Chains A and B, each alone.
Chain A
Amino acid sequence: MNAPDRSARTPRAVTAAAFAVPVAFLGVFFAVPVATLISTGLREGGRWDLGAVGEVLTSPSTRSVAWFTLWQAVVSTAATVVAALPAAWLIGRIRFPGRSLLMAALIVPFVLPTVVVGTAFLAVLGPDGPVAALGGVLGFDVDLRRTATAVILAHVFFNYAVVARTVGAAWMAVDPAAEDAARTLGADRWTTFRTVTLPQLRPALAGAASIVFLFTFTSFGVVKILGGPRIATIEVEIHRLTTQLLDLRTASVLSLLQLAAVIAALALYRRAGARRGSARTRAGRSVLHRPAGAERWGVAATITSAALLVGVPIATLVWRSFDTAGGPGLGYYRALGSTGRGSALFVPPAEAVRNSLVIGAAAATTALIVGGLAAVGLHRLGGRARGVADSSLMLPLGVSAVTVGFGFLIALDEPPLDLRTSPLLIPAAQAVIAIPFVVRTLLPALDAVPARLREAAAALGAPPHRVWWEVDARLLRRPALGALGFAYAISLGEFGATVFIARADAPTVPVAIFRALSQPGALNVGQAMALSTVLLALTAAVMLLVDRVGDARVGGF
């Protein structure tokens, strides 16, 4: 009836103040370093060398890398959507024991470090793994290592939760009464799904798919470990050009190319998101029912496929951590506690766990504060500006860690901002990656706070700051805790940026895993597996808490 008069209640100054911190933070820790590196690559003797852009873009090697990147991202996205759709149905419709456990388990791959996943997949897909064993039984010689298939499978593993949880939440919001109505009007189950359910899920599907596309298009660790030398995405190529060849010119053009693709994916995501509101208001719980009849087979099949896709790699990893030379045992775990070798750089893995927990707490807190302020600012923005600002916050997900890392070296090398070796750099870098997820969690929650409650508080005598504290802050506590937990989990698993800046004496768990894997000897491999399992358990525990505390929408995906 009455359009709320935003400008009257929230002066521009408040919005600007809320944005100041995230803008400064992302400027220092993301935008400036990236811009510096790209301009270093594209400036020749103080002059822009824009010829490079055309030259690199038209070269056959760029075209082949770009084509593969696009191709694998599209196929990975489609495969993920198809594979995870049954799980979305399960989440959106079925009540079953262990539901919240499944929800938490699904998100674990998403926050696992790529080193761990790569190693696990090598084990699964290698000649001694279950896939080869199955192939052997069927009379095929299967070795999927170093193939695009392996990369795509790992991408499905990684992003399964994005589709399952996002679309599952949308499915919950689809009114079952409309489906019932279609059935009484003569539509069979499949027709009902196609004509009634699917159209309502489409915005969520498009949103999830564009996020999966973003992640797979910029995939690095998985491609590097599983793809072998014949396969490179743009991101892998940027890394190679930057760290090995120091060809910043080509790398800068590729960075811009990737950025353009990422912006396109984000624009798609935004369009999908803008149409999402309609289906979201219904309370979800009541639409869940116990499976009956043929549905039980569907549930069984879905859980089995989820277990195969997500469970087998995890199970293989866990199994290998117990599979010592002398039979199953805790040998590798015991080794974690020992201080071993007395090297100047050696850090007992148990201490790496401590480092991870400490850095995670700092990163998650930073992400919550910066992301929370960004969410407040976005909440007060309207229209196009909001969409653009929202997408900009997600850009760090689409820029190579090596670009940011090398950018740090050049851009942040002078006092007062010589942060290159500062211990604060790790939590800051991890926070940059976690902020989009915090915003995606808090912004919908903030938008969902009824304006009426704020007005009621004001009418009862609460000045603006107390309205914020008594209403918004209280109602956001659960989503904020959820966002904090999710940011924590992301920080625990973050590898790409961390390995670049981790101090020698304070590695995180993923960095310690990486180091253990680069040392020869069974004990090191075993410790890496044991550490991976510890990380897995930590992450799962955090996500379980997050699911208990927050709602299914944590992370926004």
Chain B
Amino acid sequence: MSSLTVRGVSKAFGGLTVLDGVDLAVEDGSTLALLGPSGSGKSTLLRIVAGLDQPDAGSVHLDDDDVTHRPAHRRGVGVVFQDQALFPHLDVAGNVGFGLRMAGVDRRERSVRVRDALDVVGLSGYEHRDPATLSGGEAQRVALARALAPRPAVVLLDEPLAALDQLLRERLLVELRSLFDDLDVTVVAVTHDPTEAAALGDRIAVLLDGRIAQVGAPGAVIAAPASAEVAGLVGQRNVFDGRVVEGGVETSLGLLAVDPAGHAGPVALLVPPSAVVPTPDGPLRGRVRGLLYRSGTPVAIVAGVGPRDDPDRMSPTDGPTLDVLAEPGWVVGDEVTLRIHAASVHLMVR
């Protein structure tokens, strides 16, 4: 177990810059979720940390050792691949014991540690199964056990749950998290899913266009994204463009009395659904276009939102769309009036 530091790592493929001066620090025993859309370079960063690719510039450190030029097999970094990459010619025990065999661990100790590793991921008794017969979740656990068995300094997970269905994913998320806590292991988990990132990581690092856009605790990153792009990436929907003016911020929703808090000129606003209050005398109105449930909470998609006293803005397609916590009794087609709680609005750079 070690701390992991990445300093100024850059990488280009055929003239296309994939990573552009990335800095990261993962504390000993903590878990970092590396969140980014596809193409953001997160898998490349992970491969560079694992030693599977070489950076064009920058360095990778485990504790105080510069391991930038140490090949993958001597780095002691475990990797769980997105597609598991289980060896089809070996059984489960052969897969899990592979790293131990490479390390020269003798047969008897190996079988003990393989059993332990399988116990840890909840697959006791799976030793002699053929990987082809495993379900997606089982295969993922075997891959994890395989990466953990040699007790690596750092474990890297590449989209560890992408191949699984929703239910299984949530169950495994929790298991993984408690497993990492129990094992006290340094982990970097790459994902494009903010839920996954929040559930897994002690901290989240957001990678956008080859640069780290934001690093912080999950709550902070999700509630207070650093930019509109980050907000979109962490799943926030009510994001609008605005401009700081006298008395607040001018937006397509009208003038909102938000404290500029040092921002000036063009900004982006995040309006959390909880900041939108349905009220009969609200200054805004719109029409309910759709109703859906998000984790059991009813959410109304309200379209054509605009100042209620503007007669030109009654068309349901005219004006922005806002996610609102739905009131009981709302049905599609209702016209509703709303008020935005300006103090809960989050301003970001644009």
Top 6 closest pairs, chain A to chain B, by CB: A460-B99, A461-B102, A452-B85, A458-B72, A459-B79, A456-B85
Contact, CB under 8 Å: A471 / B87: yes
* Chain B 104-132 residues near chain A, CB threshold 8 A: none
Task: Given A8-B53, A8-B54, answer yes or no on A462-B87 (Cβ-Cβ < 8 Å).
Answer: no
Which residues from B are CB-within-8-Å of A470?
87, 98
> Does any Cβ of B come within 8 Å of A350's Cβ?
no
What secondary structure prevails in chain A residues at the interface with B? helix
Q: How far is the CA of A164 from the CA of B50 in the complex (A)?
A: 46
Q: List 12 A-B contacts (CB under 8 A).
A: A2-B44, A455-B81, A456-B85, A457-B98, A457-B102, A459-B50, A460-B102, A460-B146, A461-B99, A461-B103, A463-B71, A470-B98
The answer to whether B103 and A455 touch across the interface, beta carbons within 8 angstroms, is: no
Q: In the complex, which of the residues A3, A455, A474 contacts B52, with contact meaning CB atoms closer than 8 Å?
A: A455
Q: Known contacts being A1-B39, A2-B47, A2-B53, is A456 close to B81, with CB within 8 Å?
A: yes
A85 an interface residue at 8 Å Cβ cutoff? no
Residues of A with C-beta under 8 A to B262: none
Contact of A460 among B39, B54, B78 (CB under 8 A): B78
- B85 close to A450 (CB less than 8 A): yes
Name the interface size band of chain A.
Answer: 20 to 34
Assuming A3-B13, A453-B87, A455-B81, is B53 touching A460 (CB within 8 A)?
Answer: no
Max count, chain B CB within 10 A of own CB: residue among A450, A461, A463, A474: A461
Within 8 A of A (CB), among B44-89: 44, 47, 50-54, 71-79, 81, 83, 85, 87-89
- B14 on the A face (CB < 8 A): yes
Contacts of A457 in B (CB 8 A): 87, 98, 102
B side interface size, CB within 8 A: 35
Q: Total A-B residue pairs with C-beta atoms closer than 8 Å?
A: 85
Please determine whether B13 and A459 come into contact, CB atoms closer than 8 angstroms. no
Q: Are A460 and B150 in contact (CB under 8 A)?
A: yes
Select one of A1, A8, A455 contacting B79, CB under 8 A: A455
Q: Are A1 and B38 in contact (CB under 8 A)?
A: yes
Contact assessment for A461 and B43 in the assembled complex, using a CB-CB cutoff below 8 Å:
no
Whether A458 contacts B83 in the complex (CB less than 8 A), given A3-B14, A475-B88, comes out as no
Which residues of A sit under 8 angstroms from B73, Cβ to Cβ?
458-464, 466-467
Task: Report the minimal beta-carbon distance from A9 to chain B, rounded to whole angstroms.
Answer: 8
Chain B residues with CB under 8 A of A471: 87
Other than the known A462-B73, A463-B71, what 19 A-B pairs have Cβ atoms closer than 8 Å? A1-B38, A2-B43, A3-B13, A452-B81, A455-B79, A455-B81, A457-B87, A458-B73, A459-B75, A459-B78, A459-B147, A460-B98, A461-B102, A461-B150, A463-B74, A464-B73, A470-B98, A475-B88, A475-B89
| Chain B positions 88-103 with a Cβ under 8 Å from a chain A Cβ | 88-89, 98-99, 102-103
Q: Chain A residues with Cβ under 8 A from B98's Cβ?
A: 457, 460, 462, 470
Residues of B participating in the A interface, judged by any CB pair closer than 8 Å: 13-14, 18, 38-39, 43-44, 47, 50-54, 71-79, 81, 83, 85, 87-89, 98-99, 102-103, 146-147, 150
Complexed CA–CA distance, A453 and B143 (Å):
12
Instruction: Give chain A residues whose Cβ lies under 8 Å from the Cβ of B14.
Output: 3
C-alpha gap A466/B103 in the complex (Å): 12
Q: A5 vs B12: C-alpha distance in the bound complex, in angstroms?
A: 11
How far in angstroms is the closest Cβ of chain A from B155?
Answer: 10
List which A445-495 residues lie within 8 A (CB) of chain B. Answer: 450, 452-453, 455-464, 466-467, 470-471, 474-475
A217 to chain B, nearest CB (A): 41
Chain B residue nearest to A461 in the complex (CB): B102
A104 to B164, CA, bound (A): 41
* Chain B residues, Cβ within 8 Å of A458: 51-52, 71-73
Contacts A459-B79, A460-B146, A461-B150 given; does A1 touch B43 at CB 8 Å: yes
Q: Which residue of A lies closest to B77 (CB)?
A: A459
Shortest Cβ distance from B200 into chain A, in angstroms?
20
Q: CA–CA, A475 to B13, complex, Å? A: 30
> Once the chains are docked, how many angstroms separate the CA of A2 from the CA of B13?
8
Q: How long is the Cα–Cα vector from A459 to B74 in the complex, in angstroms?
A: 8
Do A459 and B83 have beta carbons less than 8 Å apart? Answer: no
Cβ contact within 8 Å between A5 and B87: no
B102 and A456 form a contact (CB under 8 A): no
Query: Which A residues are CB-close (under 8 A) to B51?
Result: 458-459
Taking CB atoms, residues of chain B closer than 8 Å to A474 are 87, 89
User: Could you tell me the distance between the alpha carbons of A458 and B156 in the complex, rounded to whole angstroms?
Assistant: 14
- Bound state CA distance, A463 and B89, in angstroms? 19
- Asked if A452 and B150 sit within 8 Å, CB to CB, the answer is no
A474 to B51, CA, bound (A): 24
In the bound complex, residues from chain A placing their C-beta under 8 Å from that of B54 are 5, 8
Given the complex, which residues of B lie within 8 Å of A452, measured CB to CB?
Answer: 81, 83, 85
Which residues from B are CB-within-8-Å of A456?
A: 79, 81, 85, 87, 146
Q: A2-B44, A8-B54, A461-B103 are in contact. Are A453 and B85 (CB under 8 A)?
A: yes
B7 to chain A, nearest CB (A): 20
For the complex formed, measure the closest distance between the CB of A471 and the CB atoms of chain B, giving whole angstroms: 7
In angstroms, Cα B162 to Cα A336, docked, is 67
Nearest CB of chain B from residue A456's CB, rounded to whole Å: 4
Smallest CB–CB gap between B37 and chain A, Å? 12
What residues on B are CB-neighbors of A460 within 8 Å?
73, 78, 98-99, 102, 146-147, 150
Contacts of B75 in A (CB 8 A): 459
Q: Which B residues are in CB contact (< 8 Å) with A463?
A: 71, 73-74
| Interface residues in A84-137 (C-beta closer than 8 Å to B) | none
Compute how far the CA of A475 lies from the CA of B86 in the bound complex, rounded to whole angstroms: 12
| Alpha-carbon gap, A457 to B75, bound state (A) | 12
A332→B205 CA distance, assembly (Å): 83
The answer to whether B72 touches A459 (Cβ under 8 A) is: yes
- Residues B44 and A455 in contact, CB atoms below 8 Å apart: no
A512 to B103, CA, bound (A): 56
**Chain B contacts for A461, CB-based, 8 A:** 73-74, 76, 99, 102-103, 150
Min CB–CB distance B85 → chain A (angstroms): 4
Say whether, besides A2-B44, A470-B98, A459 and B52 are in contact (CB < 8 Å).
Answer: yes
A467 to chain B: closest residue by CB:
B73
Bound Cα distance A460, B38 (Å) = 26
